[in-house]
Amino acid sequence: MQHYRENIYKYFDVEFQKYGYSLVVYYDGQLNTDKSHSIFHAIKYSFKCFLRAVINEDADIIILFVWLKYLHLLPFMIYIRYVKKNIKQITWSKGLNIYKPDQTVKNHLYFLRQKLSDALLLYSKENRANVKNKYHKKSFIAPNTLNFTTFTEIKETKQELKEYYGFKGLKIILMVGRIDAHKRKPELFIEVCDKLQKDDYHVIIIGSGISQKKMDTISNCPNIHYLSPIYQEEIINKYYKMADVFCMPGRIGLALNHAFYYSNPVILERIAQGAEVTLFEDKKNGLYFSPNDAEDMYKKLKTILGNNNIFAKYSLNAKNSVDNHASINQMFGGFLRAIKYVS
């Protein structure tokens, strides 16, 4: 699987060169990335390997996208800050753990990381609430998104795709993402199986990690279709284009951007969500449903699918949301502003 950020870094590489910067990307070796591309280099995450990479590249600026679970990160940042003072470091994060913002001990480590950084790159304006006020002036927004400029145009219409995949004339509800027991809950669709059949709505679930028990249960509902993970971009994009709405029982991430790009209104559970949720506007480009409430989820689905005017309005707003607020160029702009700040 190609990591979605690979295409982002390739875009950045081209754009940075226009401003006189060269980009080198070191990753932990667990991504099946395009190793033939000259900017990518596998590395073991350790203090020694980090330092060797910085010296080998004669780096002027380091952008760190590394979780706190890598315990060597803070000693490395301290070393760069106080020993290699000519090297500037930028941290790319959400500021804190947005799902567990009240972890006192860990928050002290996050705040130390903010102090050691010459600039902070944040996923959204809302993330500034996770940054100490005195560091706001060195924080910059780079909306996390996908590089839609690499997407191949899909020539088939929505109706042609539905006919090709065997859903001619039907309403399609799409869910895409790893089926993590703690994050995603496809079982909510199973709870409303009778209603799906009555209205002839069909749910397509794409993603890895689903348990055999859930698969067995899903197989008993003819209107729920589990397709396993799809890693080919051109294929999964056809499912996004074919869908009428996107529904995520659980946490959503960049699937929100993906759905909006293909004009899919989003039905979203009202729980702690990722930074991408800042694009979502209840009753404008989608609808919230109450936590763990399958009946309310279905009610919101029917509100959109059963009303052509609402569907058309939300679809247009969804596309405008990602085009106007989460383009790859806007993401790059945040990075460029941070780099110019420390240069």
Model confidence over 39-97: pLDDT tens digits? 998 888 889 999 999 999 999 999 998 787 777 889 999 999 999 999 999 999 988 87
- Average per-residue pLDDT in the chain? 92
pLDDT band at 171 (very low <50, low <70, confident <90, very high): very high
Question: If DSSP codes are grouped into helix, strand and coil, which group holds residue 4?
Answer: helix
For domain 149-325, give the fold.
Rossmann fold (3.40.50)
- Look at residue 320 in the predicted model and tell me its pLDDT: 98
* Chain mean position to CA 243: 19
Sign of CA dihedral 119, 120, 126, 132: negative
- Look at residue 108 in the predicted model and tell me its pLDDT: 87
289 has pLDDT over 90: yes
Of residues 72 and 21, the one with the higher pLDDT is: 21
Rounded distance between C-alpha atoms, residue 272 and residue 239, angstroms:
27
- Look at residue 209 in the predicted model and tell me its pLDDT: 83
Are 138 and 144 in contact by the 8 Å Cβ rule? The answer is no
Question: If DSSP codes are grouped into helix, strand and coil, which group holds residue 177?
Answer: coil
1 has pLDDT over 70: no
Of residues 330 and 69, the one with the higher pLDDT is: 330
pLDDT band at 150 (very low <50, low <70, confident <90, very high): very high
35 has pLDDT over 80: no
121 has pLDDT over 50: yes
Structure tokens at 186: 């496809």
Please give the average per-residue pLDDT across 148-163, as a whole number: 96
- Look at residue 37 in the predicted model and tell me its pLDDT: 65
The side-by-side arrangement of strands in the sheet containing 119-122 is 61-64, 88-93, 119-122, 139-141
Model confidence over 181-217: pLDDT tens digits?
Answer: 678 888 899 999 999 999 999 999 999 888 888 888 8
Please give the average per-residue pLDDT across 21-43, as a whole number: 77
Please give the average per-residue pLDDT across 19-44, as a whole number: 79
- Look at residue 216 in the predicted model and tell me its pLDDT: 82
Mind giving me the DSSP string for 49-100?
Answer: HHHHHHHHHT-SEEEE---TTSTTHHHHHHHHHHTSTTSEEEEEE-SS-TTS
Please give the average per-residue pLDDT across 283-304, as a whole number: 97
Picking from 51, 114, 45, the residue whose alpha carbon sits closest to that of residue 80 is 51
Which architecture does CATH list for 4-145+327-342? 3-Layer(aba) Sandwich (3.40)
- Look at residue 43 in the predicted model and tell me its pLDDT: 87
- Look at residue 248 in the predicted model and tell me its pLDDT: 96
- Look at residue 32 in the predicted model and tell me its pLDDT: 54
Are 339 and 90 in contact by the 8 Å Cβ rule? The answer is yes
Phi first, then psi, for residue 339 (nearest 5°) are: -65, -40
Instruction: Name residue 168's amino acid.
Output: K
- Look at residue 168 in the predicted model and tell me its pLDDT: 96
- Using alpha carbons only, give the angle 276, 289, 193 rounded to the nearest 5 degrees: 115
Residues of each domain in the chain carrying CATH 3.40.50.2000: 4-145+327-342, 149-325
